[in-house]
Amino acid sequence: MRLILSAVLSIASFSLCAASVAAEQSTTAVTAAAPVTEQDMVLATDTGKIAGSLLLPAGQGKVPVVLIIAGSGPTDRDGNSAGMKGKNNSLKMLAQDMAAAGFASLRFDKRAIAASAAAATSESDLRFETYVQDAVAWLKLLKADARFSGVAVLGHSEGSLIAILSAQQEQVRAVISIAGPAKNAGDILRQQFQGKLPPLLAQKNEEIISALQAGKLVSDVPPELKALYRDSVQPYLISWFRYTPENEIGKLNCPVLLLQGDNDIQVDAKQLTALKAAKPDATQLLVHNMNHVLKIVTGDMSQQIASYGDPSLPLAPELSSALSSFLRDKLK
């Protein structure tokens, strides 16, 4: 339960909205073993700078680039959550695998997280659309960069919906969803709580979710549920619950890749099936034994939890090969 709800329970503070774009670059070698370079990138907004990392493959000439969007909560550009012990480095490793295959990528810390902390104002100002507009601004920046031959957007977990919505506003060559939910976030919360609360608290939880899905604030939240439905986060939840991924993905007119692990304890394989049904022409892959942080896990819950903080575990090989094959087909 702690892992399933961690992303929602630790929603970070953000503020609206991306206004101007600037790039600040300083090049350093990533490792001697990997012939790639990493550059610091900055997105300038009305409320502060959002920090990112551009990973460039070796070689000359234009290359395709992928914007990587992390999941919910205090998750940084590398895929690590402040709410978990250790680091899994899943998104950093994904970027490195793409660079080795000849694709550039840009990943970033969300508002209020890590190096982007200064871009936050108050939690009550956060809206889901804030994330989307930041992603749109990054896409505009990448598309205007003469180093890149084409731009795709990739979202992990909650980032999948952000990727879908940003691609509706700013045309891209492809959209990649990894461990992306298909159902409305309110419905997923409802499912996650099923059978886990006492009857009276379960009834109150249902009333709160229903009210938020209807766009209504709730004043009488029980203390047991206050961390999740605190006053300052309700406006964000209302804005998030406004969108249902399976309703939005069908609006895309670009190639779509759907990737999911069958050992994901946060987003189950049914979500992949639902997204595919909503976007029949999408390419899909269910990776055996891959979990939510894109690692192969075959053991019990203790191994699942350990994987969230173990950077020594490699990514699922099938994930990286499928992603590279798709990008090679659609971007090169």
pLDDT tens-digit profile of 134-143? 999 999 999 9
Answer whether residue 33 shows pLDDT above 50: no
Can you say whether residue 5 is alpha, beta or left, with left for phi > 0 and alpha for psi between -120 and 50 degrees?
Answer: alpha
Q: Three-class SS of residue 276?
A: helix
Task: Note the pLDDT tens digit of each residue in 246-275.
Answer: 999 999 999 999 999 999 999 999 999 999
The whole-angstrom separation of Cα 330 and Cα 332 is: 6
The whole-angstrom separation of Cα 18 and Cα 138 is: 9
What integer is the mean pLDDT of 135-163? 97
CA distances from 199 to 195, 212, 230 (A): 9, 20, 21
* pLDDT score at 26: 33
Per-domain boundaries in the chain: 9-183+244-331, 185-242
Q: 10 Å Cβ neighbour count for 145? A: 16
**Burial of residue 101, with CB atoms counted within 10 A of its CB: 0-12 exposed, 13-18 middle, 19 or more buried:** middle
Q: 10 Å Cβ neighbour count for 149? A: 14
Residue-averaged pLDDT of the chain: 89
Answer whether residue 4 shows pLDDT above 50: no
- Could you tell me the two tokens for 50? 């959002």
* pLDDT score at 29: 34
Look at 107 and 6; give whichever has higher pLDDT.
107
Give, to the nearest 10 degrees, the angle between helix 185-193 and helix 2-9.
Answer: 140
What's CA 219's distance to the chain center, in Å? 30
Task: Note the pLDDT tens digit of each residue in 110-129.
Answer: 987 888 888 877 889 989 99
* pLDDT score at 32: 38
- Could you tell me the two tokens for 38? 């990493």
* CATH entry 3.40.50.1820 includes domain 9-183+244-331: yes
Q: E-strand spans in 73-119?
A: 104-108
The whole-angstrom separation of Cα 149 and Cα 142 is: 10
What integer is the mean pLDDT of 145-157? 97
* pLDDT score at 169: 98
Omega before 254 within 30 of 0, i.e. cis: no
The whole-angstrom separation of Cα 238 and Cα 217 is: 8
The whole-angstrom separation of Cα 319 and Cα 297 is: 14
Q: Which of 3-17, 62-76, 110-124 has the lowest mean pLDDT?
A: 3-17
What integer is the mean pLDDT of 184-189? 96
Q: pTM (2 decimals)?
A: 0.89
Helical H segments across the chain, by residue range: 2-9, 90-100, 128-143, 158-169, 185-193, 199-213, 226-229, 234-241, 245-248, 269-278, 301-307, 317-331
